[in-house]
Amino acid sequence: DRSIVCVVEEPNDVMALERTDGFDGLYHVLGGAISPLDGIGPEDLRIRELVARISGKSPEKSPGQSSGPSSDERTGDEPSAEEVDEHPPITEVILAVNPNVEGDTTAYYISRLLDPFDVKVSRLAQGMPLGGDLEFTDEATLTRALEGRVSV
């Protein structure tokens, strides 16, 4: 479902979620989490690119995002007006950041940034170990977390 974007901190988080086979959408890798103590602010992450994807302004490809065949490859005909935009509007953003202070800060920041857009913002359900890393969470826990996500 190309209308749902799952936001993760690192590329390894994409691999962890893919192992669950519970998500069928696009990924957006931030490249970390907001951590003022480590000198990492929002401008150091790929948050601007996320907002561009949501607003429909030339979204950039992210790790884990596959590019499907163009309409020309599918039919051999010229694409219709609807097919010209190969990126359907984003309707939901899942914040799959780590359940720690940095992840909470990042999730809060992004959720407030996306307020002006007509998009559902959700976060993985809690139940994963506090202070743990998404990359090391087992598939069953990640599957339950995806299924039990809640709006923020």
Judge whether 30 lies within some domain: yes
Look at residue 29 and tell me whether its pLDDT is greater than 80: yes
Q: Is residue 78 part of a domain?
A: no
pLDDT-wise least confident of 51-55, 77-81, 110-114: 77-81
What distance in Å separates the CA atoms of residue 29 and residue 11, rounded to the nearest whole number?
A: 6
CATH number for the domain including 121? 3.40.1360.10
Q: How far apart are the first and last CA of the chain?
A: 21
Q: Does residue 70 register a pLDDT over 70?
A: no
- What tokens appear for 137 in the block? 């969470």
Instruction: For residue range 83-101, list pLDDT tens digits in order.
Output: 445 668 999 999 999 988 9
Residue 118 lies in a domain: yes
Q: Is residue 139 part of a domain?
A: yes
Task: Evaluate whether residue 91 is within a structural domain.
Answer: yes
Report which of residues 96 and 144 the model is more confident about.
96
φ and ψ of 44, to 5 deg: -85, -5
Identify whether 70 is part of a domain.
no
| Domains contained in the chain, number | 1
> 74 versus 53: which is more confidently predicted?
53
DSSP string, 86-143: -SPPP-EEEE---SSHHHHHHHHHHHHHTTTSS-EEEEPPS-SPTT--GGGS-HHHHH
Question: Residue 123's domain spans which residues?
Answer: 4-64+84-151
Query: Which of 31, 34, 24 shows the shortest CA–CA distance to 8?
Result: 31
CA distance 141 to 81: 42
- When the pLDDT of each residue in the chain is averaged and rounded to a whole number, the result is 82
Confidence check: pLDDT of 63 > 50: no
Predicted pLDDT of residue 127: 67
